[in-house]
C-alpha cells in the first residue's frame, strides 16, 4: 500500500507525521515530539530575604521563598495539608492559568517538577499530588495562579481524593490566615483560627526554617 507522509508542526513546535493512504486518509500517527529543552534557571544560595513577593493580594516574605526561577517562585505554606505541602506561583500576578504566557506555563511546571523530585523523598512519600485551582468555581481563593505540590503516602487520607477537599478547605483558610498575619506580622506559635481548631497557623520562624531547609536540598539536586 502506498502512503504519503507529511510532517506538520503544531503551535507548540511539536513534530507530527500524518500518513495518508487509501485506507487511512483520515488517520494520523504521532511520534514523540522533539522539543527544544528549556533550561530552568534557578536561584538558591544568593536569595535576598529582604525582597518580598506578591501572591495575589498577599505579600510573601523572602525568608519563606525557597527557590526562584526566571518567571516563578516556590514558597512554603502557612497551613499545609500534609507535611511538605508547598506552593509554586508565577512571579507575575495573573489570576487564570489561560492568561499565562507559554514561557510562564513552561517555567511554572518545570519548577514544580523539580520541587516535586526533592520533597517526595525528603518527606518519606511515594507519590505526589500536583493541583491547580483555576478560578473561583474551582476553589481558588487567592486570585493568582499557583500549583499545590503535596508529597503523598499510602493511607494518608481515608479516601484518596479527599486531598482535593482538604486543598479547597485549606485554601480558604490560607486567605484568612494570611490576612491575619498581615494585620499582625508577629503571631505567636500555636495561634488558632476559628475555621480550624485542630491545625494551627505556623509561625514565621517555622516557615523560614523550612524554606531554608528546602533551599539546601534543592541546591544539592
What whole-number distance in Å separates Cα of residue 22 and Cα of residue 1?
8
Residues 46 and 136 in one domain: yes
Residues 163 and 189 in one domain: yes
pLDDT at 136 over 70: yes
What was the pLDDT predicted at 85? 97
Residues 19 and 60 in one domain: no
Structural domains in the chain (count):
2
What residues have CB less than 8 Å from 130, skipping those under 6 apart?
112, 116, 147, 148, 149, 150
CATH number, domain of 153, equals 3.30.428.10
| Whole-prediction pTM | 0.72
Binding-site residues from annotation for substrate: 58, 77, 133, 139-142, 148
Residues 88 and 187 in one domain: yes
Residues 84 and 21 in one domain: no
**pLDDT over 70 percentage in the chain:** 65
Q: What is the mean pLDDT of residues 135-156?
A: 96
Residues 87 and 151 in one domain: yes
Binding-site residues from annotation: 58, 77, 133, 139-142, 148
pLDDT at 144 over 70: yes
φ, ψ for residue 134, nearest 5 deg: -100, 85
Domain that holds residue 13: 1-36
Q: What is the mean pLDDT of residues 105-109?
A: 98
34 against 199, higher pLDDT:
34
Residues 13 and 105 in one domain: no
Residues 52 and 14 in one domain: no
Q: Helix %, strand %, coil % for the chain, to 5?
A: 30, 25, 45
**Active site members:** 146
Residues 213 and 153 in one domain: yes
pLDDT at 21 over 90: no
Residues 46 and 62 in one domain: yes
Q: What is the mean pLDDT of residues 64-70?
A: 96
pLDDT at 109 over 60: yes
| Element spanning 5, H or E | strand 4-9
Residues 9 and 88 in one domain: no
pLDDT at 20 over 50: no
Amino acid at each position: 500500500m502506498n502512503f504519503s507522509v507529511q510532517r506538520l508542526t503544531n503551535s507548540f513546535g511539536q513534530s507530527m507525521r500524518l500518513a495518508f493512504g487509501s485506507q487511512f486518509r483520515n488517520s494520523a500517527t504521532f511520534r514523540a515530539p522533539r522539543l527544544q529543552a528549556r533550561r530552568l534557571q534557578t536561584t538558591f544560595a544568593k536569595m535576598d530575604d529582604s525582597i518580598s513577593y506578591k501572591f495575589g493580594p498577599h505579600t510573601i516574605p523572602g525568608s519563606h521563598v525557597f527557590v526562584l526561577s526566571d518567571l516563578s517562585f516556590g514558597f512554603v505554606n502557612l497551613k499545609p495539608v500534609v507535611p511538605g505541602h508547598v506552593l509554586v506561583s508565577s512571579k507575575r500576578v495573573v489570576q487564570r492559568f489561560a492568561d499565562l504566557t507559554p514561557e510562564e506555563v513552561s517555567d511554572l511546571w518545570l519548577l514544580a517538577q523539580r520541587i516535586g523530585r526533592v520533597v517526595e523523598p525528603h518527606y518519606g512519600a511515594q507519590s505526589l499530588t500536583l493541583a491547580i485551582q483555576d478560578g473561583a468555581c474551582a476553589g481558588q481563593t487567592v486570585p493568582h495562579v499557583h500549583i499545590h505540590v503535596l508529597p503523598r503516602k499510602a493511607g494518608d487520607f481515608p479516601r484518596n481524593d479527599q486531598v482535593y477537599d482538604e486543598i479547597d478547605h485549606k485554601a480558604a483558610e490560607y486567605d484568612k490566615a494570611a490576612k491575619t498575619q498581615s494585620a499582625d506580622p508577629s503571631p505567636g506559635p500555636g495561634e488558632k483560627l476559628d475555621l480550624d481548631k485542630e491545625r494551627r497557623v505556623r509561625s514565621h520562624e517555622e516557615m523560614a526554617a523550612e524554606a531554608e531547609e528546602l533551599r539546601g536540598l534543592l541546591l544539592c539536586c
